[in-house]
Structure 1
Amino acid sequence: MRKSAFELHEKSAKHKKTRQSFETSKKITDTFKKSASEPSASLFSVIQDFLRENNIDIRNCIGLGTDGAYNVSGEVNSVFSRFREMNPSIKFVKCTCHSLALCCEKAFKVLPSNLEYLISEIPRWFSVSALRRDEFKNIFATMNEGKEQYEKFVTPSTTRWLVRGKSINIILKQWEELQAYFYSVVDKKYQARMIRDMLRDEVNKFYLTFALPFVQNFESLNAAFQASNPDPSKLFEELEELRMFLLQRVYKDPHERKHLWAPTDEKLGEKFEFDLKRSKLLPEKKLEIQRRCHDFLIEAINQIDKRIDNTTMKMKYIKHLSPKNCLSQMKPRFTNEDLPFVQLAKDENFDILKVANQWEQLSMKTNWREEFPNSDIPTDPVEFWAKVHEYKNACAENCYRELATIALNSYCIPLSTAFVERVFSHVTNVKTKARNRLSTSSLEAILRIRSHMFVHDICCQKFKVTDKMIRLFTNAAIYKTDSSSHTGTEINPQPSTSSAQASPAFVPTLSEENEVCSFDEILSIVF
């Protein structure tokens, strides 16, 4: 959700590019707002108040990105529905990273449930004991004669979207070594006996061998969407390729979705089919495995259709806005079917015929090589369109202004909320069981600092503390409590039951040099 900065600020192409990527003003825009409850009305009220505080008209917001929770993404009585009432042209995109992770997770549940147990319990078995890890390393070194390197196991988690495929891959690589290890410790614990029996059953290995390439495809695309500055056109092309890849494995006619392949038609993966043919399982058991794997693919397709909506899939048309395509003579016509971003003009007097004319003249009337240093047209679409936005003809008119505004606003649409999801991991890392009394204000300050340094690519080793920061860190600010005020009064301690009485805490009076020491101001420092 971002306000269009291109209509308000026109300093330089570089500044436009920076603002498009992260911000609309020189402030930290990854902000954390408190909400009394989770209902949509409460959340929307918090967002609306924040926009008012920053003088941002909600009608200028271009896109809204959330996860798939109904209170924020539902069609009725949600945060999105309230935004749509006030801004009908807003683009809504569910977090693609979250959706891809859920698609993979739901499809994996079609396979036998003991697979989930196997890939989670094996890493957990070794994570609690260094002795167990050493024993396995010795067995691994003996069986491989030191030629291969032992790989550490990774525990899958619902909040870690890129781990499941890696966990399956490591287990499959070390399958024989794991069998040997759990045979040696089977007498020690019942859990070890269960894992041994699962490893001994080759059916489980067939299922994991089948699932691995498909899970890796989902996670590879998920990682691409989590990148800091990805190319949206390529991302959504890859998303469409993944969908077609799955359809081709299920349907003989993937475009019309007609005529299903039979589970025995060898469309489930070459390695899987090769290993299954060589096995000595009964034909009935082989057919059962193939049917379960076929159901996995069907469920994956259904989940993509359910969670990746049409608005998200239309983002693939943004590829036509790349410099290479928009300057081509073979570019599509400027229509709402080929370029569904017309509503991003954000202008009540928008003239589609005028913009269509600008689109046609873009590659015909202007030699863009002369407008860039060294006659080199940039491949970065934001840099290119920022220059187009500034271009003036012989009459000193911005002859491509409306078209460039649509293009730049298109690149402002949020692709995912992966950064927000990472905040949950930061909270878990910062507020551990040993630090469970860490105050909310301190936690918020740590999250702000981490977010700011990540967004601006600042390393803590090179960070320099300013004089203002040092002046603000006073006792009154650091040890502020709800029951005390900044008046220089003594805080009476509670009676101590120990023999040594605690010294009373004292908050000093503020001097004129240090009149501003509010903890809230410390949190709002603009670095």
Structure 2
Amino acid sequence: MDLPFKKKYYAQKYRPEWENIDEFKGWLKPASGDSTKAFCTFCSMEILAKLFDIKKHAQTKKHKHKLELKTGRCNKEIPFKVIAKESSSRPCDAAEGALTLFIAEHCSTLSVDHLGELCSKCFKDSKATDGLKLHRTKCTEIMKNVLTSHFRQELLDDIGNQKFSILLDESTDVSVSKHLGLVIRYYSSKQEKIVSSFLELVSIERADAKGIVEGLVACLKNYKLNINQMIGIGTDNASVMTGINNGVHAILKRDYGLQHLILIRCVCHSLQLAVTHASENSLPRTVEFLVREIYKWFSVSPKRRDEYKKIYELINCGEAPLKITKVCDTRWLSIEPAVTKILSQWEELKLHFNLARGNENCYAAELIYNMLQDNKHYSYLIFLRSVLNDVQIAIKAFEGEDSNPLKLLNTLKTLIQSVSQRILMPTRLQRNIMDPITDRDLHPRPFLGYIFETEITKHSFDPETSNAIRQRCVTFLMRLVTELQQRLPDNYKQLESMQLLSPEEAVKPVKTNDIVNLAEILGFTPEKIDKIMQQWHILHSFKWVSQEIIPFWVEVKKYKNASGDNILEDISELAIACISLPHSNAEVERLFSQMNLIKNKQRNRMSLVTLNSILCIRDSLRKSGQCCHNYVLPKSVLDKMGTMEKYSKSSKADSVAQDVPSFSQCPQPSTSSSCI
């Protein structure tokens, strides 16, 4: 008798692609040790690795309750009816707009719940409070859908179809989300100067070159900016940005046809790296160790700070001591302010640690005291203060928002000359600052600074010790000059090319044709280059008032002949495009500083849309030179203030995009939550 056929059972294994399904995102993971089961991180339970069972679990009451708690969707949406606006504008519209500007610029949207009620209560006799109803939901939606749209449209109108540069860098916020910060640098016809404006903070899944390029291109398309008008990008010195084969710059040139795209490495980052590499194996490691340990000694103990304060005030007639600053782990140059403050209170610190080593019986205090007693460390710090001060001056110049490109070139020249002339033999011939230093060029006994030489003589070191200190200092200077020459040639050439555009060169009757090379580098067409050459050679025929480079070319751009035509349009376009090239990445660093101030530990659930809106409003007010109390919103913006569809929730993704601390939404919040 034949037995009935039984269907063979195959166990279903877990599939990682299920995690990308919207319904399962955030909670579905593979079970550890069993490939036939899945694991729900919200409910902390295992499920059979079958799509039917997983969907069934997602519909259970327990899972839905956990989902609400974890994602902060505890509050149910209240359906609002869209009510037609009675008139084009209400008396309270301007008040609502001004209050929203105030909240966006100065504080959290939580404050507006009480602020709106307070205004209505205190100013009952004012027409501006008639119908004033502004709470966190409405305030947030006005930021996103009314004010941000207004400021972004103003930005796009100001940019127009002219050439621009992009500053970009990537960072993570407090919720450990990867963001690409984009700042656009262009000529503002409204303000008649080169400005750097916040463009957008783009969320990226991966921080490699392709992910960054995709985020950049998507942002430009979203703003309807022509990518072919982008003439330069400013980045830090990371290989993902500057890689020859697969960096961001290389991909943009190869895959998007931007053959004339110019890469500008941040001078500030280059100077930081130059000093860091110059200090390796040249100066004693104990110098940096001493500075760091002195900060650590006081940073964690109010008692030690109070004891030192009493000693310092006793010695200095009641004057309070300067606080020792922290040395950043990733920025070696941050040691300069700490060195300056330690040197200014060297004897007081020595006395404090002498007392502390006996009172606290602490080995760290004993070690620091012995290092302070060693005059070699004092000599090294005196030498470092002098050199690092020159580097800091250069960095501050390049970090400025309205820096003159020609003065930046002189700053770079001055820095390299200042460092190299400390160790070089004097010569009558003018030396090229980019020429390498050989042993024949070195001074047999260089003068390393007045205070340094005085201290060396004062402490009466033996010849061997004195020569060892000098040799280490000379080695540091030689390596610093070499690092500067290797890291700054591109920036130097860029700034040197701008010297052609100086007012002094432009108004000369006899000029070279080097302007052609500049036009070719920036990708101007042959027809335009021909016009540029003609206009370049007639510039001296006109009388110009401005002597500074940017106001001069703005004056040229605005020039009109008798018929009202600008016959110098092409040469002014070239000059302004060249000047608008970035010279540092400081604006993006400022953007990330603002991001961390806005989205902090208490506001870690803020959505990216809300964060972008606040950044856009703050930057627009800063750029216009106005504040929340004197910025006048146009009537077209006020007309949108009372229309429900303009500040109603537009999507489920933004339905919880409120600026609410996580601890008020969920019983068990996560500091790194990024569900909003």
Q: Same fold (TM over 0.5)?
A: yes
For 1:288-303, list aligned pairs within 5 A. 288-303=468-483
CA distance in 1 between counterparts of 2:390 and 2:647 reads 53
> Which of 290, 295, 298 is the matching residue for 1:123?
295
TM-score (ref. length: structure 2): 0.62
> Which of 308, 329, 335 is the matching residue for 2:514?
335
CA distance in 2 between counterparts of 1:413 and 1:182 reads 51
For 1:84-103, list aligned pairs within 5 A. 84-85=253-254, 86-103=257-274
Does residue 243 (structure 1) correspond to residue 416 (structure 2)? The answer is: yes
CA distance in 2 between counterparts of 1:167 and 1:388 reads 47
* Kept in 2: contact 1:251–1:260 (CA 8 A): no
For 1:182-261, list aligned pairs within 5 A. 182-187=353-358, 188=360, 189-252=362-425, 254-255=431-432, 256=435, 257-260=437-440
CA distance in 2 between counterparts of 1:472 and 1:131 reads 58
CA distance in 1 between counterparts of 2:649 and 2:330 reads 35
Please identify the structure whose Cα radius of gyration is greater: 2
CA distance in 1 between counterparts of 2:478 and 2:625 reads 41
Q: 1:263 to 1:156 in 2, by over 3 A?
A: farther
What secondary structure is seen at the aligned counterpart in 2 of 1:407? helix
> Which of 456, 459, 484 is the matching residue for 1:276?
456
* Kept in 1: contact 2:511–2:537 (CA 8 A): no
Aligned to 2:174: none
Aligned to 1:367: 543
Report the alpha carbon displacement of residue 159 of structure 1 after superposing the two structures with TM: 5.9
CA distance in 2 between counterparts of 1:311 and 1:496 reads 53
Q: 1:274 to 1:37 in 2, by over 3 A?
A: same
Q: CA RMSD in A?
A: 3.8
Aligned to 1:58: 227
Aligned to 1:322: 502
Aligned to 1:156: 327
> Which of 520, 545, 550 is the matching residue for 1:382?
550
Structure with the bigger percentage of strand: 2
Deviates more, 1:288-297 or 1:158-167: 158-167
> Which of 331, 348, 352 is the matching residue for 2:525?
348
Aligned to 2:575: 407
Aligned to 1:506: none
Report the alpha carbon displacement of residue 40 of structure 1 after superposing the two structures with TM: 0.8
* Kept in 2: contact 1:221–1:239 (CA 8 A): yes
Matched residues, number: 469
What secondary structure is seen at the aligned counterpart in 2 of 1:398? coil
Report the alpha carbon displacement of residue 70 of structure 1 after superposing the two structures with TM: 0.8
Q: 1:3 to 1:160 in 2, by over 3 A?
A: farther
Q: 1:289 to 1:496 in 2, by over 3 A?
A: closer
2:406 is aligned with what amino acid?
Answer: S
Q: 1:390 to 1:430 in 2, by over 3 A?
A: closer
Report the alpha carbon displacement of residue 99 of structure 1 after superposing the two structures with TM: 1.4
Cα displacement string for residues 333-364 of structure 1 (whole angstroms, at most 9, x for unaligned residues): 2315xx8522366432336454334223211x
Deviates more, 1:212-221 or 1:134-143: 134-143
Aligned to 1:145: 317
> Which of 70, 79, 83 is the matching residue for 2:252?
83
The unaligned stretches of length 5 or more in structure 1 are: 369-376, 487-493, 498-518, 521-527
Q: Which has the higher contact order (CA 8 A, sep 6+)?
A: 2
CA distance in 2 between counterparts of 1:424 and 1:302 reads 32
Q: 1:156 to 1:114 in 2, by over 3 A?
A: same
CA distance in 2 between counterparts of 1:138 and 1:355 reads 69
What secondary structure is seen at the aligned counterpart in 2 of 1:228? coil
What secondary structure is seen at the aligned counterpart in 1 of 2:234? strand
Q: 1:126 to 1:379 in 2, by over 3 A?
A: farther
1:197 is aligned with what amino acid?
Answer: N
Cα displacement string for residues 427-446 of structure 1 (whole angstroms, at most 9, x for unaligned residues): 44455556655555555555
1:154 is aligned with what amino acid?
Answer: T
1:284 is aligned with what amino acid?
Answer: E
1:219 is aligned with what amino acid?
Answer: Q
- Identity, in percent, stands at 27
Cα displacement string for residues 353-381 of structure 1 (whole angstroms, at most 9, x for unaligned residues): 54334223211x2233xxxxxxxx13443
Report the alpha carbon displacement of residue 165 of structure 1 after superposing the two structures with TM: 1.8
CA distance in 1 between counterparts of 2:323 and 2:666 reads 52
* Kept in 1: contact 2:357–2:365 (CA 8 A): yes
What secondary structure is seen at the aligned counterpart in 1 of 2:263? strand
What secondary structure is seen at the aligned counterpart in 1 of 2:191? helix
CA distance in 2 between counterparts of 1:243 and 1:482 reads 53
